[in-house]
Amino acid sequence: MSRISSLAQSLAAWSSATDRRAEVLLDDVLHGRRPCYVLGRNEHSAWMVRRLDVQGVIDDFVDTPGDWRGVRVVRSAQLAPGAVVLNAVLHKRPHTARAKLAQLPGRPELLDYAHCMRIDPERFPALPFVQEARDLLDSRGQELETLASRLADAESARCLQDVFLYRLTGDPDFTTCYSLSCQRQYFDIDLGLPEDRAVFVDGGAYCGETTEEFCRLHPGYGAVHVFEPNAASMQVARNRLRDLRDIHFHSCALGERRSQLHFDGSAANASRISEEGSSVIEVAALDEMLSGHAHLLKYDLEGYEVRALEGARKLISRWHPALAICVYHRAADFVDVPAKVLDMHPDYTLRMRHYTEGWEETVLYCTP
């Protein structure tokens, strides 16, 4: 059986499974027999509060009480007796959030939104990231199969299986063997870099942490090119890296060609190119910015990775640098990124690793 057929069968089995405990909890919530709260304030919790009669949104880090999306913000210690909590912490730490809830006085019951989707899909439609993954499996399953067949090791195959089952269901049970481990991200495998004079391109550098780690791991490096369009983040990166040598700062985004685009810089490390953005940034192709060799390209570009790869076509086709490319921003990136890379150099070896408990931070490594 192919890995993708296995994915579809696993999704079907998950969808048809019965969870009597979750059914009872949801029925109690829907009929007002137990108070319901949502843990976390993000797009997932906003989706949930529109579909349930929620007594409050839990945020233990809020400075002052108030309302959010028309719902009261509370601390976990303020939960009413018999509370049921929906976990909206799905990006990076769903298991940590679960464990925190289990330690609260009275041990409130946990009801994942994934359970609601499975029990009553009409009342509780798939979360956007879940629907996106399901649409990809339906429309481009063969391309996912191609990716699965090109992955070079068993850990990569397991990673694709686990992460996609999480994305197809929203159920954290599929990612229990993963942890938040961002320090290893981008340098988790042998990239075949030279011991000395390696040139690193940090695309989407944010505050410079990845460049700092590269320089620590490769003290004999040749140069680093830091690309970051968010002015505030770039200033933090300059301060962080000021004592390191041969760091070249580029206050622009990477894309397929030179242009200007709207940018939303309000979301810190998730700032991105967006039509709704209030600022305008410069975009450049790496082929225009770098005249020589590069040994490693790292791209974390909030969904702009494929276009930025096209803008590095000459460099990649000629020099075959190692690549560490984020593929988690859009479900389609799981097939579009490797397709773009292999179009430029079909002999790349592909591996995949994942660095959170949730659906964020999946990296495709490509080594020549």
pLDDT tens across 132-148, in order?
999 999 999 999 999 99
347 and 267: one domain? yes
111 and 199: one domain? no
Closest CA to 201 of 324, 27, 95, 97: 324
Distance from C-alpha of 49 to C-alpha of 70, rounded to nearest angstrom: 9
Asked if residue 138 is part of any domain, the answer here is no
CATH at 110: 3.40.50.720
Q: Specify the pTM.
A: 0.91
Tell me, what's the pLDDT at 78?
87
330 and 191: one domain? yes
**Which domain range does residue 106 map to?**
17-127
pLDDT tens across 294-304, in order?
999 999 998 99
pLDDT tens across 16-69, in order?
998 999 999 999 999 999 999 999 899 889 988 988 889 999 998 887 778 998
93 and 194: one domain? no
CA angle 243, 219, 325 (to 5 degrees): 95
Calculate what percentage of the chain has a pLDDT beyond 70. Answer: 94
Backbone phi and psi for residue 22, each to the nearest 5 degrees, phi listed first: -65, -35
Distance from C-alpha of 159 to C-alpha of 118, rounded to nearest angstrom: 23
Last residue of a domain, one of 112, 127, 142: 127
Asked if residue 97 is part of any domain, the answer here is yes
94 and 182: one domain? no
116 and 41: one domain? yes
Count of domains for the chain: 2
Asked if residue 305 is part of any domain, the answer here is yes
Tell me, what's the pLDDT at 6?
85
Asked if residue 173 is part of any domain, the answer here is no
208 and 323: one domain? yes
Categorize the per-residue pLDDT at 271 as very low, low, confident or very high, splitting at 50, 70 and 90.
Answer: very low
Contacts of 147 (CB under 8 A, 6+ apart): 160, 334, 335, 338, 350
CA angle 150, 151, 155 (to 5 degrees): 160
